[in-house]
Chain A
């Protein structure tokens, strides 16, 4: 196990300065453009954008750059969307302030100022308004086939959608306070909206910024009020699922492959069912105001005809998902759902190594690194050997895997040996009883468990797991990897999330009021 790794002199511990220009993610771009242009549907263009090279969550701003192909994508999208809007009188009318004057120039200015406020997530300066007006007035010359006002709007929208002030969320304050630099009121509004809802600030949030309620100094109450309001919106629930899809690797469920000969229950639509079931589970937790404890231990599941035989539930199931209470069955929380179990499984046996690595990394935030240059030779298979016995012979105590596997990886993976490669519960393996028991150092204490159900209970009550969960959220909301400067807020929130069974919404509310969110580090340029 390592926290750094680093080969040839490199080191993960090296500090990478957090950029002060944070490019919109593709998810944020689609939401923002829909809200900015007041479209009925999300624009589809983002699906075809040049993919980002991301390590961590998609909001990791250090890796969100604009390449040549992405700029061309933005350009094409801006052109297509602007044309679409001005070719639709109703869509165009939605963008013009109701009280806009009729005089063409004044009307253009009213449009630019109101649209610009939302696009830039702050009021435009007089010079910026002038720049857009100049472009607007070129409409008859540059788009002679269009009605002049529509031509001006079209050109202005194209520029707005490609503008660096739209594409990047900025943190340009410089005044230091207690060793850190607070974000301005509009910067807070912008960051809060993009973090919580994945979109631009709505009018109420912009108004709060305009009133100075989000300005540095004493803004936590307003931030909390606004956060609570935003967290109740569908966009916030969607954004929460967007984070969980990444932290729990849900989109990888689509890659699950099983032999239909070995597993007749497995169909081509089973992976999609596994992913949808997990998504419904997470949305349900959000709606119910639940937190990590329920994520790990809830006995509720969403089951369709594909999943019913895997869960081992009786009844009539079709394509639609039904909420099922699994009390009495050996299932509790996301880690005993078929998607996770089938994703980390081989063709004919579970894969406790990768199950264990995933839990270490994603549930406990412990970095796991392979120790050797080459893989060890595979041992001979002994007849009537369980999967656990075989992997123990390869990686357990007394082998080269003793350090990492025997104490960190295998115990967590073996706990799930009661679940076969499809995620079905089993009590025997190769004719022998399954041994899912283990000992693991959690929160600096050796804990023991007899199976996965006991393990997930331990994890659900572990400050370490709650701290890890909070750190995922902080990383996602901030758009940066967590650093040592975040320790205080994560320690405190991890403990509270555990002791008070905080909801996800409460975790987010706490984080967005923290210094880690509302200020940036004052880093000296070398």
Chain B
């Protein structure tokens, strides 16, 4: 179901440097309602390799991620978590009134081969895993897909981005770490290039034919007719018809506008520069932030109410620079030795290095929050209309699937009880994702909150402690 807003979208770009306004990609109907819920967005940033949280089975791996105690969060208390206890989440102090931290959420299943991939499969789906080795897949849709399907203009797909290195054509051996799923065993590939993602959002590259709208309408009519003819073939299976129907449903006669919402020129220039060396490690920090800027832009421009960003590939092998020193590859740090498995020399301070990398990722997450907070809407800053989540494919560097971390900024328009740190007590992902879906304005079949997302054999429901 699409909810509509009658408010002018002109205000959307104020404060984020957007200059030229227009609604080329925005379904006009989306901008014509007055329901503030129409602005509920949901963005998901998913890291790899786990975080430096306590792992009681590992000597010396004490808590460095979560705050020291559950309960209310204030700017002052979180600042102390950072300065006195070196807890990574203390870095989010400025967002304490808007912050919801949830621990005690377990991924429902163990490894089905590669732990990284298993975590990717589950973290936004709460679904079973099909297959094994390096080619396992989730057996259900992901939360971003559900949100997009029900709430995006014209059902547009979620924005799906990654900041990694794996070339798009590196197929045949394993997969790059899919977190967004259209459905059962239907992963959605993430766009690694901010420039391409941006050009797609603003419709660049389209023809300059003067009568293009009329031409497209005529051609689209014939395309629909051809797809219908093909779907009528008795030789097709129901799966074939479903994929052709998906194709059919993508055909929209959207007016081509003469102006577009645009991102700051500086960022566009950075995208072009990064695009020349997508695999360069040196570009990785910039790549993450450009992709985050795009997530915010996607929401602000009305392109999509939801999106995901995967940091790294299936694993994250970036070599971060901390205090002028280049660290070992992050994945090796997470394995605590100089290899992607277990054969390299021990990295003696690996856990501390892991914590330092976590802090970089926290700072990046703050950047995304700052982008969202800088955008004004008639009902307040955009960041409060929806929420943005920082999570990870697993919990610790030791490939654990319990205690998937959730740091959420934004209340989803007042749905989530922010300003607190909650221990959910070992619930599975399913109620967590149900709650997040509901906070994003998605409703269940009865019009109430969603309680049945994910694998049906798992306990459903909501996490009431985090709902207002």
- CB-defined contacts of A69 to chain B, threshold 8 Å: 157, 200
- CB-defined contacts of A10 to chain B, threshold 8 Å: 112, 128-131, 139
Tell me the B164-197 residues at the A interface (CB within 8 Å): 165-173, 175, 178, 182, 185-192, 196
B247 and A164: CB pair below 8 A? yes
Which listed residue (B133, B189, B235, B247) contacts A173, Cβ 8 A?
A: B235
Kindly state the separation between the CA atoms of A138 and B219 in the bound complex, as whole angstroms.
11
Kindly state the separation between the CA atoms of A79 and B216 in the bound complex, as whole angstroms.
9
A76 and B172: CB pair below 8 A? no
- Name the residue of chain A whose CB is nearest to the CB of B337: A378
A395 and B342: CB pair below 8 A? yes
The smallest beta-carbon distance between A84 and chain B, in angstroms, is 10
B380 within 8 A of A: no
A76 and B206: CB pair below 8 A? yes
- CB-defined contacts of A168 to chain B, threshold 8 Å: 230
Flag the segment in B362-370, B393-401, B431-439 that touches A: B393-401
- Name the residue of chain B whose CB is nearest to the CB of A346: B339
Interface of A (DSSP majority class) = loop
Interface digits, B233-250 against A, CB 8 Å rule (1 contact, 0 not)? 111111110011011001
Residue of B166, B219, B235, B329 most packed against chain A (CB within 10 A): B219
- CB-defined contacts of B156 to chain A, threshold 8 Å: 68
Interface digits, B430-468 against A, CB 8 Å rule (1 contact, 0 not)? 000000000000000000000000010100000000000
Tell me the A1-36 residues at the B interface (CB within 8 Å): 2-12, 14, 16-17, 19-21, 27
Which listed residue (B218, B230, B250) contacts A71, Cβ 8 A?
A: B250
- CB-defined contacts of A368 to chain B, threshold 8 Å: 113, 133
B112 and A58: CB pair below 8 A? no
Kindly state the separation between the CA atoms of A479 and B169 in the bound complex, as whole angstroms.
16
A143 and B130: CB pair below 8 A? no
Interface digits, A341-383 against B, CB 8 Å rule (1 contact, 0 not)? 0000111111111100010011000011110111111100100
Flag the segment in B80-88, B91-99, B220-228, B259-267 that touches A: B220-228
Number of interface residues of B (CB under 8 A): 105
B338 and A349: CB pair below 8 A? yes
With contacts A143-B215, A394-B342 known, is A347 near B172, CB below 8 A? no
A347 and B338: CB pair below 8 A? yes
- CB-defined contacts of B192 to chain A, threshold 8 Å: 51
Which listed residue (B182, B188, B340, B346) contacts A378, Cβ 8 A?
A: B346
Which listed residue (B128, B211, B219, B247) contacts A159, Cβ 8 A?
A: B219
A213 within 8 A of B: no
A257 and B281: CB pair below 8 A? yes
A369 and B343: CB pair below 8 A? no
- CB-defined contacts of B190 to chain A, threshold 8 Å: 51
The smallest beta-carbon distance between B274 and chain A, in angstroms, is 15
With contacts A83-B209, A171-B235 known, is A5 near B329, CB below 8 A? no
- CB-defined contacts of A55 to chain B, threshold 8 Å: 131, 135, 137, 171, 175, 187
Flag the segment in A197-205, A243-251, A314-322, A451-459 that touches B: A243-251
Flag the segment in A59-67, A222-230, A492-500 that touches B: A59-67
Kindly state the separation between the CA atoms of A68 and B149 in the bound complex, as whole angstroms.
12
B21 within 8 A of A: no
- CB-defined contacts of B169 to chain A, threshold 8 Å: 27, 58, 245-246, 251
Tell me the A241-280 residues at the B interface (CB within 8 Å): 243, 245-247, 249, 251-252, 254-255, 257
B212 within 8 A of A: yes
Kindly state the separation between the CA atoms of A381 and B343 in the bound complex, as whole angstroms.
10
The smallest beta-carbon distance between A379 and chain B, in angstroms, is 9
The smallest beta-carbon distance between A346 and chain B, in angstroms, is 3
- CB-defined contacts of B235 to chain A, threshold 8 Å: 20, 171-174
With contacts A72-B200, A138-B218 known, is A2 near B132, CB below 8 A? yes
A346 and B332: CB pair below 8 A? yes
A95 within 8 A of B: no
A165 within 8 A of B: yes
The smallest beta-carbon distance between B59 and chain A, in angstroms, is 8
B130 and A12: CB pair below 8 A? yes
B167 and A353: CB pair below 8 A? no
- CB-defined contacts of A2 to chain B, threshold 8 Å: 113, 132-133
Residue of A9, A11, A375 most packed against chain B (CB within 10 A): A375
With contacts A65-B186, A373-B401, A394-B342 known, is A5 near B112, CB below 8 A? yes
The smallest beta-carbon distance between A483 and chain B, in angstroms, is 14
- CB-defined contacts of B239 to chain A, threshold 8 Å: 17, 19
- Name the residue of chain A whose CB is nearest to the CB of B457: A9
Kindly state the separation between the CA atoms of A57 and B170 in the bound complex, as whole angstroms.
9
B250 and A373: CB pair below 8 A? no
A330 within 8 A of B: no
- CB-defined contacts of B325 to chain A, threshold 8 Å: none
- CB-defined contacts of A53 to chain B, threshold 8 Å: 175, 178, 186-189
Flag the segment in B103-111, B353-361, B418-426 that touches A: B103-111
Number of interface residues of A (CB under 8 A): 105
A245 and B189: CB pair below 8 A? no
- CB-defined contacts of A145 to chain B, threshold 8 Å: 210
Tell me the B265-293 residues at the A interface (CB within 8 Å): 279, 281
Kindly state the separation between the CA atoms of A353 and B341 in the bound complex, as whole angstroms.
7
B14 within 8 A of A: no
Interface digits, B149-167 against A, CB 8 Å rule (1 contact, 0 not)? 0000001110000000111
Kindly state the separation between the CA atoms of A377 and B350 in the bound complex, as whole angstroms.
14
Which listed residue (A50, A72, A374, A387) contacts B189, Cβ 8 A?
A: A50
- CB-defined contacts of B250 to chain A, threshold 8 Å: 66-68, 70-72
- Name the residue of chain A whose CB is nearest to the CB of B135: A55
Which listed residue (B171, B178, B185, B223) contacts A163, Cβ 8 A?
A: B223
A80 within 8 A of B: yes
B189 and A164: CB pair below 8 A? no
The smallest beta-carbon distance between A103 and chain B, in angstroms, is 24
Which listed residue (B212, B343, B344, B399) contacts A375, Cβ 8 A?
A: B399
The smallest beta-carbon distance between A137 and chain B, in angstroms, is 11
Kindly state the separation between the CA atoms of A144 and B209 in the bound complex, as whole angstroms.
10
- Name the residue of chain A whose CB is nearest to the CB of B241: A21
B343 and A351: CB pair below 8 A? yes
The smallest beta-carbon distance between A152 and chain B, in angstroms, is 12
A255 and B338: CB pair below 8 A? no
The smallest beta-carbon distance between B205 and chain A, in angstroms, is 5
Kindly state the separation between the CA atoms of A68 and B109 in the bound complex, as whole angstroms.
32
Tell me the A176-194 residues at the B interface (CB within 8 Å): none
- Name the residue of chain B whose CB is nearest to the CB of A172: B235
Kindly state the separation between the CA atoms of A56 and B182 in the bound complex, as whole angstroms.
18
B146 within 8 A of A: no
- CB-defined contacts of A367 to chain B, threshold 8 Å: 113, 132-133
13 extra A-B contacts, CB within 8 A, seeds A8-B128, A79-B207, A251-B170: A5-B131, A6-B129, A48-B205, A54-B175, A57-B172, A76-B206, A252-B166, A346-B344, A349-B343, A351-B341, A373-B401, A374-B57, A375-B399
Minimum-distance CB pairs A-B, first 4: A5-B132, A246-B172, A346-B339, A8-B128
Residues of A at under 8 Å CB distance from B?
Answer: 2-12, 14, 16-17, 19-21, 27, 48, 50-58, 63, 65-73, 75-76, 79-80, 83, 131, 135, 138, 142-145, 155, 158-159, 162-165, 168, 170-174, 243, 245-247, 249, 251-252, 254-255, 257, 345-354, 358, 361-362, 367-370, 372-378, 381, 387, 390-391, 394-395, 523, 525
Residues of B at under 8 Å CB distance from A?
Answer: 57-58, 108-115, 118, 128-137, 139, 155-157, 165-173, 175, 178, 182, 185-192, 196, 199-200, 205-207, 209-212, 214-216, 218-219, 222-223, 225-227, 230, 233-240, 243-244, 246-247, 250-251, 279, 281, 317, 319, 328-329, 332, 335-346, 398-401, 455, 457
A sample of 24 cross-chain residue pairs with beta-carbon separation below 8 angstroms, ordered by A number, consists of A2-B132, A5-B112, A6-B130, A7-B109, A7-B112, A19-B239, A20-B237, A21-B240, A48-B196, A51-B189, A55-B131, A66-B243, A79-B206, A79-B207, A80-B207, A172-B236, A246-B170, A246-B171, A254-B165, A351-B341, A352-B343, A373-B400, A378-B336, A390-B343
